[in-house]
Copies of this chain bind each other. A is one copy, B any other.
Amino acid sequence: MSFSCGCCRTLGQMLFEYDTPRIVSIKSRKVGLINRLVQLGILAYVIGWVFVWQKGYQQFDSVISSVTTKVKGVAVTNTTDQGVKIWDVADYIIPPQEETSFFVMTNLIMTLNQQQGRCPEMPEDSPHCISDSNCTAGEQSSRSNGIQTGKCVPVKNRTAVHTCEVLAWCPLENDADLSHHPALLKDAEQFTVLIKNNIRYPKFNFTKRNILPHINGSYLKQCVFNRATDPDCPIFRLGDIVREAGEDFQEIAVEGGVMGIQIKWDCDLDQSVSKCVPQYTFRRLDNKDVQNTVAPGYNFRFAKYYKGPGEVESRTLIKAYGIRFDVMVFGKAGKFDIIPTMINIGSGLALLGVATVLCDVIVLHILKKKNFYREKKYKYVEDYDLVGNSPACETP
């Protein structure tokens, strides 16, 4: 019989039977309330956090962006050796174009008319010598400016001091004392940069740019970004960028640094597109080195090459201190999608099951009526070969 039942069941069950757990429904204000509260909490979490806050009903995509920058401004310097000199974009932007960043030279040490030749090492950053025996021909350290010839020669204008002679671009650069204070191109604070940023969310085939539709040419010609008055103007004064980052431009200008221009595009594409606008924030990316002044600032060397009469190559070496501005574009866009919605609803329902688990713990182990409830909830079964010597707690 149990067999015939077995087969008919296994067959029938497949289609025409429906299994649902048997429930004991306990009438108890206390437990009932506890249960509802826990369920309410879970519901609140699922709806409030997962759906409203985390937008669990949306599919997300992260931004793809392209950036172009254009700096404008002119600086004037007046130095003893060079006289009055004008610096424009072609002079102070190095290299002339980069993918997502631009470098503005704010200070420099210029060494004119360098030629391949022999000259004594700088006495400041290399050991002095008494005789040639102190210098070994061909030796080079990664810190020196050239290859030693093996001679020990007097330093120009300081015949008392002798250093090893080196093959190098002579005269050597003298950057012992940091150049110019305040920075030579201090006018850079007034420079402006136009940042053109086009973004795209491929999943939603959505594109936008930071020059918003309502911006017309005449406005763009004269506007400057100002969080209060001109928050949509894509033209930034370098001084403002640094100030908003809480730094002092003239201070950075001397030794150089790295600034971050962050553009955030967080868009809810279920809402109107006009609400999807860029947010600009500025930060200094390198440390200010208040506590330890190890390798501060940002600088690099480059040269302009000339050919004098007789094909002799000479160069002007420039140690450029300045500010590198990295444009960083972040952002993610969300749009309603059925799949994540289903998934979150599903897992939300599953979580509701946890409520019962918690209440059972309370009802069966904490409440003083626990044994009463247990006997209602549980039915104790022994393997039938043991039936008979079942413990007292078997329900009669």
Contacts and interface: CB of A to CB of B under 8 A. Distances in A.
A94 B97 contact: yes
Chain copies in the assembled complex: 3
A295 B169 contact: no
A228 interface: no
A103 interface: yes
Nearest to A209: B287
A327 B194 CA distance: 23
Contact of A349 (B324, B357, B382): B357
Q: State which size class the interface on A falls in.
A: 35 or more
A20 B356 contact: yes
A337 interface: no
Interface in A234-286: 237, 258, 260, 283, 285-286
A29 to B, nearest CB: 5
Nearest to A100: B99
A221 to B, nearest CB: 8
Looking at chain A's contact residues, the main secondary structure is mixed
Contacts of A157: none
B27 A386 contact: yes
A72 to B, nearest CB: 5
A301 B286 CA distance: 28
Interface in A185-200: 187, 190-192, 194, 196, 198, 200
B379 A145 contact: no
Interface string A358-396: 011001000001011111111111111010000111000
Interface string A20-39: 11111111110111111000
Given A94-B96, A147-B74, A295-B194, A18 B25 contact: yes
A220 to B, nearest CB: 5
A12 B391 CA distance: 12
A124 interface: no
A213 B143 CA distance: 24
Interface in A3-51: 3-6, 8-9, 12-29, 31-36, 45, 49
Contacts of A8: 391, 393
19 contacts: A2-B393, A8-B393, A16-B32, A18-B28, A18-B31, A18-B34, A20-B360, A21-B23, A22-B378, A23-B378, A23-B379, A88-B168, A93-B301, A99-B324, A198-B258, A304-B305, A307-B314, A350-B353, A350-B354
